[in-house]
Amino acid sequence: MSIVREAVPGDCPQILEMIQELADYEKEPDAVHNTVADLQEHLFGPNPQVFAHVAEDESGELKGMALWFLTYSTWEGRHGIHLEDLYVREAQRGSGTGTALLRTLAQFCVQRGYRRLEWSVLDWNEPAIKFYDAIGAGSMDGWTTRRLDGEALHALGTRGAN
């Protein structure tokens, strides 16, 4: 059984391990540039803008994580949560850990009056899609995720700069 709690600074090394495991699973093993120091700064610095919950076993080993940040819906006029990463270690999958992490975030939303809990899933990740369907998470058909990064981000960000 996993216990879900807010992350603490000492969790950062295990969180980074799980981020790398997720990158490996998503076939992007070289994509992680994050560090323990980055996580400590962004999760626990003076003005954190990203947050984390973790699931641990009785021994204190982390079995899963949820990294998230606040969003704002102009239509709802309320905040929501964007779940950046939900990850459960392979040996723990199917044990209820993912559900426990999502339930904790859903409770967080309800308690604070947030109207949405949203995330993305890779279209080839059938086990995750089936899990999300099973808990009642609907697909946002008709929406396409877009990203501006790398050279394109730099070009737009410096165009017309003085």
Q: CA nearest 62: which of 127, 7, 105?
A: 7
Collapsed DSSP state (helix, strand, coil) of residue 31: coil
pLDDT category at 157 given cuts 50, 70, 90 is very high
Tell me what the pLDDT averaged over the chain comes to. Answer: 94
User: Is 63 in contact with 57 (CB distance < 8 Å)?
Assistant: yes
Does residue 111 have a pLDDT over 70?
yes
User: Is 119 in contact with 102 (CB distance < 8 Å)?
Assistant: no
| Structural domain range at position 29 | 3-158
Which residue of the set 25, 72, 114, 132 is catalytic?
A: 132
Q: What is the pLDDT of residues 14-52, one digit of tens each?
A: 999 999 999 999 999 999 999 999 999 999 999 999 999
Q: What is the pLDDT of residues 81-105, one digit of tens each?
A: 999 999 999 999 999 999 999 999 9
User: Is 60 in contact with 8 (CB distance < 8 Å)?
Assistant: no
Does residue 162 have a pLDDT over 70?
no
**Active site annotation includes 87:** no
Percentage of residues in the chain with pLDDT exceeding 90? 84
Q: What is the CATH number of the domain that holds 35?
A: 3.40.630.30
Angle among Cα 9, 120, 48 to the nearest 5 degrees reads: 30
Does residue 54 have a pLDDT over 90?
yes
- Structural domains in the chain (count): 1
**DSSP symbol at 10:** G
User: Is 67 in contact with 120 (CB distance < 8 Å)?
Assistant: no
Percentage of residues in the chain with pLDDT exceeding 70? 98
Helix H or strand E segment including 80: strand 78-88
